[in-house]
Amino acid sequence: MVTIVTWNINSVRLRLPLVERLLHEERPDVLCLQEIKTIDQSFPARALAALGYVHQVVHGQKGYHGVATVSRIPLRELSRHDWQDNGEARHVGVELLGRGQGVVVENVYVPAGGDVPDRTVNAKFGQKLDFVERMTRWAGAIDRPTLIVGDFNIAPLECDVWSHKQLLKVVSHTPVEVAALERFRDAHGWSDLGRAHILAPERYFSWWSYRSPDWRRNDRGRRLDHMWASPELARQARGHRVLEAARDWERPSDHVPLVTDFEL
């Protein structure tokens, strides 16, 4: 069995104790982090290697964005796509070389898109849509078993947000974003592993705003984080979990980890 986790950590250096706790408690084979907010040289490589995660691919950026994939399984870097088209560190792709040899794991952090869902007045929203469109063109040429994980910053289904009606005009759940993500899904025939294992309309959130003083009681969550697999790889998925408890850890990220087990 190979276990893969994705987590928007919202500063890996600030929240290194949380990452260490996750690795101690869950012992995943591969951990994909987004929004690490550090340059490569400042990534806590030694601390994670001391826990057995000696195989590391880091695509960092000072103070913003950044992604990293760390693993107990040997891997090699395949690509760093600039789907933002401005040099931001938002993607890294790796190939597993040990167990699961040949499987490609793509780690991505899609832009949030600002506050106004109109590209004519909000350039960030346009950049987000263009980012997903570039991902879509890339996905159409995939010819290997691939897993793409990360913070997509889009909650596609009505049941992926705490209130479909109230969030229809809120960035992350607007019809134009959902349609863009559907085109991405169709470009490769991706399987949404989360919803393959936690069937709609069952409650499934991965993010709760820091603005909510009592996130559990208010439960105004959204499913912004995803794990999608090529059809043949999806058939090897044996389980999927959301680690909601991590939202209660000390100084938590506003996102929680997602875990998928594969029989590779």
Q: How distant is the alpha carbon of residue 223 from its chain centre?
A: 11
For the chain, what is the mean pLDDT? 97
Check residue 245 and give left, alpha or beta (phi > 0: left; psi -120 to 50: alpha): alpha
Evaluate if residue 118 carries a pLDDT over 90. Answer: yes
The pLDDT score that the predictor gives to residue 76 is: 97
- Determine the average pLDDT of the residues in 214-223: 95
Q: What is the mean pLDDT of residues 35-64?
A: 98
pTM (whole model) above 0.85: yes
Domain boundaries, the chain: 2-262
For residues 153-168, give the mean pLDDT.
Answer: 98
pLDDT at 212 over 90: no
Question: What's the pLDDT score for residue 98?
Answer: 87
Mean pLDDT of 149-162: 98
- Does CATH place domain 2-262 in 3.60.10.10? yes
Contact between residue 248 and residue 18 where contact means Cβ atoms under 8 Å apart: no
Strands (E), the chain: 2-8, 30-34, 55-59, 67-71, 75-79, 91-96, 104-109, 146-151, 191-192, 207-208, 221-222, 225-229, 237-242, 258-262
